[in-house]
Amino acid sequence: QVYLVESGGGVVQPGRSLRLSCAATGFSFSNYGMHWVRQAPGKGLEWVAGISGEGRSQSYIGAVKGRFSISRDNINNALFLQMDSLRPEDSAVYFCAKEYGAFDACDIWGQGALVTVSS
């Protein structure tokens, strides 16, 4: 069975850091690009970052460039999002998602991890 499970969400003060993890099961993890997509409460979906299967290529939206870092561990089938200098506007549910193929849709999504940035 193919699934993704996020962890590491929580409440954090502005300016602090948080690291999200996503455990992958049931597929050849290193063969697929992976993404983080977030959704603020009551809002739409926003793509945040993506990483290639081998981990050599990463991309980010402008709003998080220089503050967030996406990485992966292909030995332990895990995806990460290191979030530094957090802002209240980063508060959202963060989903990890698997690419179906290169430049393709995301066919598998995790259940999401809630991040709340508040003093």
Partner 1 sequence: EVVLTQSPDFQSVTPKEKVTITCRASQSIGGKLHWYQQKPDQSPKLLIKYASQSFSGVPSRFRGSGSGTDFTLTINSLEAEDAATYFCHQTSSLPYTFGQGTKLEIK
Max intra-chain CA distance, the chain:
41
* 109 binding partner 1? (CB under 8 A): yes
What is the distance between the alpha carbons of residues 46 and 37, in angstroms, rounded to a whole number? Answer: 6
Per CB under 8 A, 114 contacts partner 1: no
Binding mask 41-60 for partner 1 (x = CB under 8 A): ---xxxx--x--------xx
The answer to the question of residue 61 lying near partner 1 (CB under 8 A) is: yes
Measured from the CB atom, the residue of 14 and 71 that comes closer to partner 1 is 71
How far apart are the C-alpha atoms of 47 and 34, rounded to whole Å?
A: 11
Indicate whether 40 belongs to the interface with partner 1 (CB under 8 A).
no
Q: 81 near 94, Cβ under 8 Å?
A: yes
HSE-up of 38 (CA within 13 Å, CB side)? Answer: 22
Point out which residues bind partner 1 (CB under 8 A).
Answer: 35, 37, 44-47, 50, 59-62, 95, 100, 103-107, 109-112
